[in-house]
Amino acid sequence: MVAGRTDVLQGTLELLVLRTLAIEPMHGWGMAQRIEQMSGEVFAIQQGTLYPALQRLKRKGWVRSDWRVTENNRRARYYSLTEAGRGQLDRERAAWERTVNGVNGVLNWAGGTE
Amino acid sequence: MRPLRGLAARLRPLLRRRREDAETEAELRFHLEMEAEKNRRAGLPPREAHRQAHVRLGGTEAIREAVRDARGARPIEDLIRDLGYAFRAARRSPVFTLAAVVSLAIPIGFNTTIFTVIDAVLFRPLPVARPAQLVDVWTGLPGDPYATTSYPDYLDLSAENDVFTDMAAHAPMAAVTRVDEATSLVFGETVTGNYFELLGLRPVRGRLLAPEDARPSAPRVAVISTGLWERAFGRDPEVVGRTLHVRALPYVIVGVAPPEFYGMPPIPGPDLWIPMTWIADLAPMGISTFVPSPGETPLERRGYRWMFVKGRLRDGVTLTQAAANLGVVMADLEAAYPQSNENQRPSLTLTNDVRLPPQVGGPVNVAAASLMLAVGIVLLVACANVVGMLLARSVARRREIAVRLAIGASRRRLVQQLATEGLLLASLGAAGGLAIAWSLLRVLATVESPIAIVSVALDFPLDGRAFLFTAAAATGAGLLAALVPALQATRPSLLRDLNGTVPVARGGGRRWFLRDALVAGQLAITVPLLVFAGLSVRGAVGSTSGAALGFDPDRVAAVGTDLFMIGYDAERADRFLRDALDRVRSMPGVEAAALTSRAPLDTSFSPRTVLVPGHHDPADRGATIVTVFVSPDYFRTLGVPLLRGRTFNTADTPASPRVAVVSEAMAVRYWPEGTALGHRFRLTGWDGTEIEVVGVASDYKVRFPTEAPTPYLHLAASQRPLSSAAVLARTSGDAATLAADMRRELRRTEPDLFFLKTETLRETADVTVLPFRLAATVAGASGIVAALLGVIGLYGVIAFLVVRRTGEMAIRSALGARAGALVWHVLATGGWLVAGGLGSGAVLALVVHRVAARVAAGVLAADAAVWAGVLLLLLAVCAAAFVAPALRIVRLDVSRALQVD
């Protein structure tokens, strides 16, 4: 539960957030729901880590935030992707796919040993 | 530009801090509401829905901190927030704050004061260019290596060495100086022409001395200090070109030395610099030795060693290399001038590191170290006390701390915050300490110098180094005082603290053990401080009693004068002094009077080389013995018994055989069997004729009250004219009055007479042990402050003990125990603390005493009364700490007390 602890998904959390925000601007709770839903309930993200991650992305200039009113007439802080954020998402996505392909290549390798 | 923008980016969030914190807060609240709503829709009861939302999100405090972390600008932000907390906490408990600040301010003030004085004397970099390159060059015999040098040797060393860029020499002088109509005794130096160039100084007016000024044909010129410029010339901007008269001869002022230049070690505070060319008109003073050698003036005689020599190392040359090189040069000189330079060896010390001649420096360094240690200990005691206070308070804040830990604040953050509180207290303490140091130094500046003839200002300004020292001491003290309790307080033990119950019996174990140890430690430290102070005072007083000195210092007045200083020749001076003696002898109340070239315990002395047949070959160097010329009644005036033979009489004239009265120590050393009477010896540096021992005087203290019996040689003043002497007179009345009357009487026939000394021998004796009295005063004051702090700490522990045991007491009392028994119970518990503290303190004091006795033999009295007195005093003061808490028990209201828990 301690925030800031580097867990395995630390790197991927930012990727997931960027990807989620690419769909539409969202508030923090909404993002948590969406990520769980989109990952087929595989990721039960540590909700507490979301907010520091958003703050980091904001400082890097990849997301911006503003206060809006939700459909239930509540004030919530919405986050949206900036242009730089879109570029970053593409770069991270490419990097992720390279990683996945590489790891898969290793896992699925069928060659013999010498 | 870029770093600026980076800074702005880091500072901007800082300015928006409050708003952003509020936004994060609102955001998290929104999150929790949404999650709870979702849980309710899934069918959970409202309370459970809310609880699970919190579990999913995690500790909000921790998230807020992580968000702040992610935002950047964290350390500054934290510091500002912590300072805010700290100020609020300080305002909330003003009494606690005041107590802690004062506890720190007093020892910090002491520390800064002592540091400033010691730093000024020993450590502050010398106010010259590249001070690390300056080297003191001493020449001397194997037994006395750090001695002064002759001018011919200086010239040869300077010309023949390969290790120095240049060498200069200087010697102290005191001269009657007239500016317009005002006459005063000015302390100065006679220097080689390159002295200021070697030091690399810049004048504030005119110019400094140059080598041309030291040419024989050059006009008489002088450089004055900024101090003299202020005192004698009122900072006259046109001072360059004005004239001052030194010993009635005119010197034109060419410049003013910079204000920060306070002279070069080992000679502090000169006000006047005159080229060595005029040495014959100046008569320098100080340490000098003399062996016969050709030449008319001190500048020509190789055997007359009177100058301090300094050199500036060439780049890359080490002290060892320089010493080796000068060793070769001195060996050449020994071969060329065997009579004056036999066994003369060079010794080199770094001027910046060795501020005092090594023979004086040792004891001064020890004294400085012990002073610093004493005041450092007091600061530690104060820290211990503030630790105790903060510990006590952190108990009261345990619940607040536990709550913050529970909602996810990291331990590091809490410790940081508590440390900030400690540093705030320390900063306030440092401010108070500086104020105290400033006032102490002001007081010191008004103290009159004990050396009455020369005004040496004890004016030590607080400078940047002192501020730095204070800041370091305060930071250290603050961190020490805050961190121990902070680490203790944040040690997680949630259950107990959230419950709000702290185990009562046995005081909760470990935590109280730490505080008990602190109090016992404080008490322990006070014992050696007070014992040392007591023993030093008793020792200083004891060592100056008549019995310890070997002569009776009470009721003896001494008036010293130097007639060369006012232009007398030897014959006229001698006539004046003999006439003066006759006149003093006939003054009312005078029982005995005598002339002496040196009064006992004077700081100056002239050692001479003695050759005793059977002990020294004629080719030998002989032995160095302090020598004095006295008139017949000298021994009677001082009250020194003659053990054998006779004193001088009117039959001892310049024409009659030379005679001497030796001290018992000298007689025992050279003529151990039978009597010394009738034996003969020679003295180098007089006229070389044999001298016969006609009397043996009882030993008395010659140089210092605590010295071992010292050979001392008395020669007849009637066999050699005196030019500089003291008139000693024993009175049946008050010696100080007599001294003043003697001055008036002597001035009657010579209005220009200048007095080097006017005092009673009691004053002389007291001044010699002044450093020990000062050390004792500081140690005593430190000890008293430490004792007060220790007792306050003790009171705190006892009072807390009583409060925490109130319930237990009440029950006991309700069960029929008498108040007396309860008081006894508290006394016993606290008694262990006191006994432990004072007991280990006594052991500590014994160790300190052992060490100190070796360093300052004879000054510390071995005095059981001091030990008993200190321990009784401390016991009594400790007992006071029990009174109020004990009274509280006696007046305990049982029913009220039982409601506490």
CA B731 – CA B593 distance, rounded (Å): 9
Q: Is the pLDDT of residue B501 over 50?
A: no
How many residues are present in chain B? 901
Q: How far is it, in rounded angstroms, from Cα B353 to Cα B357?
A: 11
Answer whether residue A112 is part of any domain. Answer: no
Determine the pLDDT at residue B165. 94
Q: Which residue of A has its CA nearest to B10?
A: A59
Q: What's the whole-number mean pLDDT along residues B769-775? A: 68
B21 contact A CB<8A: no
CA–CA distances in Å: residue B319 to residues A39, B322, B326, B355, B385: 77, 5, 11, 16, 47
Helix (H, G, I), strand (E, B) or coil at B647: coil
Highest mean pLDDT among B73-87, B343-357, B363-377, B785-799: B343-357
HSE-CB for B661 with a 13 A CA cutoff = 27
The stretch B68-88 carries a mean pLDDT of 75
Contact (CB, 8 A) for B18 and B84: no
Is B126 part of a structural domain of the chain?
Answer: no
Close Cβ partners of B200 (under 8 Å, ≥ 6 residues apart): B128, B129, B130
Cα–Cα distance for residue pair B396/B628, rounded to 1 Å: 74
State the pLDDT at residue B160. Answer: 93
Q: How many CB pairs under 8 A join A and B?
A: 68
Q: Range of A58's domain?
A: 10-100
pLDDT of B368 above 50:
yes
Query: If you average pLDDT over every residue of chain B, what do you get?
Result: 79
Residue B450: is its pLDDT beyond 50? no
Residue A114: predicted pLDDT: 43
* Strand B642-645 to B690-697 pairing: antiparallel
| Chain Cα centroid distance, residue B600 | 26
Whole-number pLDDT of residue B284: 64
Q: Lowest mean pLDDT: which of A4-8, A38-42, B391-395? A: A4-8
Q: List chain B residues with CB under 8 Å of A2.
A: 62, 408, 410
Query: Rounded to whole angstroms, what are the CA distances from B339 to B303, B479, B787?
Result: 8, 65, 62
Tell if the pTM clears 0.90, that is, is over it. Answer: no
Q: How sure is the predictor about B604, in pLDDT bands with cuts at 50, 70 and 90?
A: low
Residues of chain A contacting B72 with CB distance shorter than 8 Å? 59
Average pLDDT value for residue range B861-868: 75
Domain count, chain B: 4
What is the distance between the alpha carbons of residues B279 and B282, in angstroms, rounded to a whole number?
Answer: 5
Compute CA distances B632 → B649, B712, B716, B805, whole Å.
Answer: 6, 16, 8, 80
CB spacing of A29 vs B65 below 8 angstroms = no
The distance of B481 to chain A (nearest Cα, Å) reads 30
> Could B30 and A75 be called an inter-chain contact, meaning their C-beta atoms sit closer than 8 Å?
yes
Q: If pLDDT is split at 50, 70 and 90, which confidence band does B8 have?
A: low
Interface test with A, best of B10, B31, B65 (most A CBs within 10 A): B31
pLDDT category, B292, cuts 50, 70, 90?
Answer: low
Q: Is residue B701 part of a domain?
A: yes
Tell me: the pLDDT tens digits for B263-276? 776 666 788 999 99
Q: Do B186 and B321 sit in the same domain of this protein?
A: yes
- Identify the weakest region by mean pLDDT among B102-116, B303-317, B327-341, B588-602: B102-116
Q: What pairs with residue B168 in β-bridges?
A: B310
Do both B36 and B22 map to the same domain? yes
> Among B440-454, B477-491, B778-792, whose mean pLDDT is lowest?
B440-454
**DSSP H helices in B558-633:** 570-585
Of the residues A2, A6, A29, the best mutation for testing chain B's interface (the one with the most B CB atoms within 10 Å of its CB) is A29
pLDDT at B440: 79
A45 within some domain = yes
Among B321, B351, B381, identify where a domain stops.
B351
Asked which of B18-32, B374-388, B577-591 is least confident by mean pLDDT, the reply is: B374-388
pLDDT tens for B90-121 read: 787 777 788 778 878 887 888 888 788 777 76
Higher pLDDT, B396 or B487: B487
Provide, as residue numbers in chain A, all residues whose Cβ is less than 8 Å from the Cβ of B34.
Answer: 29
At residue B11 the predicted structure's pLDDT band, cuts being 50, 70 and 90, is low
Strands across the sheet with A63-69, in order? Answer: A26-27, A75-81, A63-69
Residues 260-319 of B with CB under 8 A from A: none
Look at residue B208 in the predicted model and tell me its pLDDT: 94
Backbone angles phi, psi at B591, to 5 degrees: -95, -35
In a domain, A23, yes or no: yes
One domain, residues B189 and B249? yes
Into how many domains does chain A fold?
A: 1
Q: How confident is the model at residue B775 (pLDDT cuts 50, 70, 90)?
A: low
Query: Do the Cβ atoms of B131 and B120 come closer than 8 Å?
Result: no
Which of B28, B30, B62 lies nearest to residue A2, judging by beta carbons?
B62
Q: What range does the domain containing B886 cover?
A: 364-544+770-898
Residues A3, B34: C-beta atoms closer than 8 Å: no
Q: Which of B60, B67, B411 to mutate to test the interface with A (most CBs of A within 10 A)?
A: B67
Nearest to B58 among A1, A29, A76 (CB): A1
Range picked from B12-21, B219-228, B478-487 for highest mean pLDDT: B219-228
Checking if the pLDDT of B356 tops 70, the result is: no
Q: Which two tokens stand for residue B76?
A: 């500054």
CB contact under 8 A, A76 and B27: yes
Judge whether residue B637 has pLDDT over 70. Answer: yes
For residue A4, the model assigns a pLDDT of 35
- The verdict on a CB contact (< 8 Å) between B30 and A77 is yes
Is B330 exposed, middle or buried, given 0-12, 13-18 or 19+ CB atoms closer than 10 A? buried
Which residues lie closer than 8 Å to B245 by C-beta, 6 or more apart?
Answer: B177, B178, B179, B251
DSSP result, A16-43:
HHHHHHHHS-EEHHHHHHHHHHHTTT--
Chain A residues whose beta carbon lies within 8 Å of the beta carbon of residue B67: 51-52, 55
Q: Tell me, yes or no, whether B359 lies in a domain.
A: no
- What pLDDT shows up at residue B504? 39
Quick check: is B107 in a domain? Answer: no
For residue B27, the chain A residues in CB contact (below 8 A) are: 27-28, 51, 76-77
B198 with B301, same domain?
yes
- Cross-chain residue pair B63–A56, CB shorter than 8 Å: no
Q: Which residue of A has its CA nearest to B59?
A: A1
B69 in A contact zone (CB under 8 Å): yes
**A26 domain-assigned:** yes
Task: Note whether B892 and B813 are within 8 A (CB).
Answer: yes
Closest residue in chain A to residue B56, using alpha carbons only: A47
Q: Identify the pLDDT of residue B829.
A: 74
Q: Per the domain annotation, does A39 fall within a domain?
A: yes
**Within this chain, do residues B197 and B270 fall inside the same structural domain, yes or no?**
yes
Q: Which residue of B has its CA nearest to A57?
A: B70
Which residue, B191, B471, B521, B153, is CA-closest to B329? Answer: B153
Residues B647 and B673 in one domain: yes
Of B23, B33, B63, the CB nearest to A48: B63
DSSP-assigned letters across all residues of B688-737: --EEEEEEEEPP--SS-TTPPP--EEEEEGGGS--SEEEEEEEESS-HHH
B6 to chain A, any CB pair closer than 8 A? The answer is: no
Q: What ipTM was assigned to the predicted interfaces of this complex?
A: 0.85
Are B308 and B453 members of one domain? Answer: no
- Over range A53-78, report the average pLDDT: 88
Confidence of residue B514 (pLDDT cuts 50, 70, 90): low
B62 contacts A3? CB cut-off 8 A = yes
pLDDT at residue B725 above 70? yes
Question: Beta A63-69 vs B289-290: how paired, if at all?
Answer: unpaired
Which chain A residue shows the shortest CA-CA distance from B67?
A52
CB B481 within 8 A of CB B422: yes
Residue of chain A minimizing CA distance to B29: A76
In what helix (H) or strand (E) does residue B289 lie, and over which residues does it extend?
A: strand B289-290
**How much of chain B exceeds pLDDT 90, in percent?**
22
Nearest to A55 among B38, B62, B67 (CB): B67
pLDDT grade for B247, boundaries at 50, 70 and 90: confident
Query: From the CA of A42, how many Å to the nearest CA of chain B?
Result: 16
Q: For residue A25, give the CATH number of its domain.
A: 1.10.10.10
Tokens linked to B120? 């000024």
Give the pLDDT score at A7.
Answer: 40
Last residue of a domain, one of B72, B94, B116: B72
Model confidence at B75, pLDDT cuts 50, 70, 90, reads: low
B198 versus B515: which is more confidently predicted? B198
Whether residue B537 sits in one domain with residue B557: no
* Cα dist from A105 to A112, B640, B876, whole Å: 14, 110, 86
* B170, B162 Cβ separation under 8 angstroms: no
Which residues of B fall within a CB distance of 8 Å from A74?
30, 33
Of B31, B54, B72, which residue constitutes the final position of a domain?
B72
**Among all residues of chain A, which has the CA nearest to that of B405?**
A2
Minimum CA–CA partner of A48 in chain B: B57
Contact residues, chain A, for B71 at CB < 8 Å: 55, 59
Q: How confident is the model at residue B845 (pLDDT cuts 50, 70, 90)?
A: confident
Residue B42 has pLDDT above 80, yes or no: yes
pLDDT over threshold 90, residue B716: yes
Q: Is A56 within a domain?
A: yes
Shortest alpha-carbon distance between residue A46 and chain B (Å): 7
Residue B88 lies in a domain: no
Does residue B861 have a pLDDT over 70? no
Rounded to whole angstroms, how far apart are CA atoms B460 and B119?
A: 10
pLDDT tens-digit map of B421-438 = 888 888 898 899 889 888
Interchain pair B58, A48: CB under 8 A: yes
Distance from CA of B87 to the nearest CA of A (A): 29
Would the pLDDT of B257 be above 50? Answer: yes
Q: Are residues B470 and B576 in the same domain?
A: no
**Residues B67, A74: C-beta atoms closer than 8 Å:** no
CB contact under 8 A, B63 and A3: yes
Chain A contact residues (CB < 8 Å to B): 1-4, 27-29, 32-33, 46-49, 51-53, 55-56, 59, 67, 74-77
Per-residue model confidence as pLDDT tens digits over A83-95: 998 998 898 888 8
For residues B108 and A28, what is the distance between their CA atoms, to the nearest angstrom?
A: 53
pLDDT in tens, B401-413: 777 777 666 777 7
Residue B408 contacts A, CB cutoff 8 Å:
yes
Please, which pLDDT band fits residue B900 given cuts at 50, 70 and 90? very low
Measured between CB atoms, does B483 come within 8 Å of chain A?
Answer: no
Q: Which residues contact B416 (CB under 8 A, 6 or more apart)?
A: B78, B82
For chain B, percent of residues with pLDDT exceeding 70: 79
Are B308 and B397 in a shared domain? no
Of A4, A51, A56, the CB nearest to B27: A51
Do B608 and B754 reside in the same domain of the chain? Answer: yes
Extract the tokens encoding A5.
């602890």
Contact (CB<8Å) B59/A56? no
Domain assignment present for B240: yes
In a domain, B297, yes or no: yes
Q: Indicate whether B477 and B569 sit together in one domain.
A: no
Which of the four pLDDT bands, split at 50, 70 and 90, describes residue B239?
very high
Looking at residue B483, its pLDDT comes to 79
Smallest CA–CA separation between B488 and chain A, in Å? 22
Nearest neighbour of B71 by CB, restricted to A33, A53, A59:
A59
- How far, in Å, are A45, B364, B501, B682, B780 from residue B777 at the CA level? 70, 16, 48, 47, 5
Q: What's phi and psi for B169, nearest 5 deg? A: -135, 150
For the ranges B49-58, B285-294, B712-721, the maximum mean pLDDT occurs at B712-721
Q: How far apart are the C-alpha atoms of B765 and B772, rounded to whole Å?
A: 12
* B57/A28 CB distance under 8 A: no
